[in-house]
Amino acid sequence: MFLLKPFCKINLFLDVLNKRKDGYHEILTIFQSIDLYDEILIKEDETLRIDFNSNDYFIDPLNNTIKKAYHIFKEEYLKITNGMWQDFYFSVKKNIPSGAGLGGGSADGAAVLNFLNSYYGYPFDDVKLREISLKIGADTPFLIEGGSAIGRGIGEILDFFNIDGFEMYKLFIISPNIHISTKEAYDGISKYLTKEKKYYNIYNLIERPEGIFGSLKDFYNIFEKSIFQKYPLLKEIKRKILQYDPLLVLMSGSGSSIFAIFENEDKFNLLKEEFGGNRIFFTTPITREKIKKQLLTKL
């Protein structure tokens, strides 16, 4: 029996540069893993079975990222081997909200790919596994490894880097009961697109002598412009959080979660009172090294 901990992510920065000829959008982002995870209990079985334990997050049992990852890996694995295939039972406890810009579904899919790759003796290297994972979602290649990375292309071109001491900082996340699909977010972004290339701007920001912490004031999420117009509650949440003087407060991904970074937990009780009754999380950034140690446990 095995226990998986799929860690999710926030976007410290997110811009959409243009729409490509293939219909996808070219993005520039900074991914950051956080210490918020689902729990997936796995055991060998005679057939594939998946159960979800979720109080308020609907997960389609016939169409979900765990099932998708499972079949993608199986197909690729059987292309290169004549070996036997073992089926599994997955019992999933959902802690990460769905449709919230935290990559919860993608994290689950990435974790299952990592598990199967480990179980079958690592038939695929990291590069191939990230390539396979792109069939699940644009942020899944990052979530295969996690940590901190600049993402380009549709999110699959990754430059990993370290943010020294970042895991000591504290995160407050509020995830309202608003589900925003990726399509909905991109449909509203077209008038804000720019042809300006910002790759080097971002690299310059993170390479400042004071590190990324001196650049937080320059970070933004372009989706806020259109999403906040459609969902004014999210704009109001951000306004209220700003009164507590965070280092950074942004919407993550295409929404609807809003996160704030603080140096310590001094204001967390006040934030809890302010936003009581909402779905809130208190967590921290997490490094690639810690993810590798905690992702998979044999029971």
Question: What CATH number did the domain enclosing 32 receive?
Answer: 3.30.230.10
* Domain stop point among 161, 190, 210: 161
- Give the strand order in the sheet containing 170-174: 248-251, 258-262, 170-174, 280-283
pLDDT of residue 199: 58
* Prediction pTM value: 0.93
Question: What CATH number did the domain enclosing 227 receive?
Answer: 3.30.70.890
Q: Which domain holds residue 180?
A: 166-283
Same domain, 201 and 254: yes
Same domain, 147 and 208: no
Q: Which helix (H) or strand (E) segment is 66 a member of?
A: helix 65-80
Residue 88 included in any domain: yes
Residue 209 included in any domain: yes
**Model confidence over 202-240: pLDDT tens digits?**
877 777 766 788 888 889 999 999 999 999 999 999 999
Whether residue 296 has pLDDT greater than 70: yes
Residue 82 included in any domain: yes
Burial of 285 (0-12, 13-18, 19+ CB in 10 A): buried
Same domain, 157 and 197: no
Same domain, 171 and 134: no
Same domain, 244 and 123: no
pLDDT of residue 143: 97
Burial of 165 (0-12, 13-18, 19+ CB in 10 A): exposed
- Catalytic residue numbers? 9, 139
Tell me the C-alpha to C-alpha distance, in Å, between residue 15 and each of 28, 35, 122, 147, 161: 5, 24, 35, 20, 19
Residues 194, 48: Cα–Cα separation, whole Å: 45
**Model confidence over 6-32: pLDDT tens digits?**
999 999 999 988 777 777 788 999 999
Same domain, 114 and 204: no
Same domain, 103 and 155: yes
Q: Give how many domains the chain has, as a whole number.
A: 2
Residue 294 included in any domain: no
Q: What is the mean pLDDT of residues 94-107?
A: 91
Same domain, 143 and 244: no
Query: What tokens appear for 131 in the block?
Result: 């390539």
Burial of 40 (0-12, 13-18, 19+ CB in 10 A): buried
**Model confidence over 240-264: pLDDT tens digits?**
999 999 999 999 998 899 999 999 9
**Model confidence over 145-203: pLDDT tens digits?**
999 999 999 999 999 999 989 999 999 999 998 888 888 888 888 776 765 555 557 87
Percent of the chain with pLDDT over 90: 70
Residue 291 included in any domain: no
Same domain, 8 and 151: yes
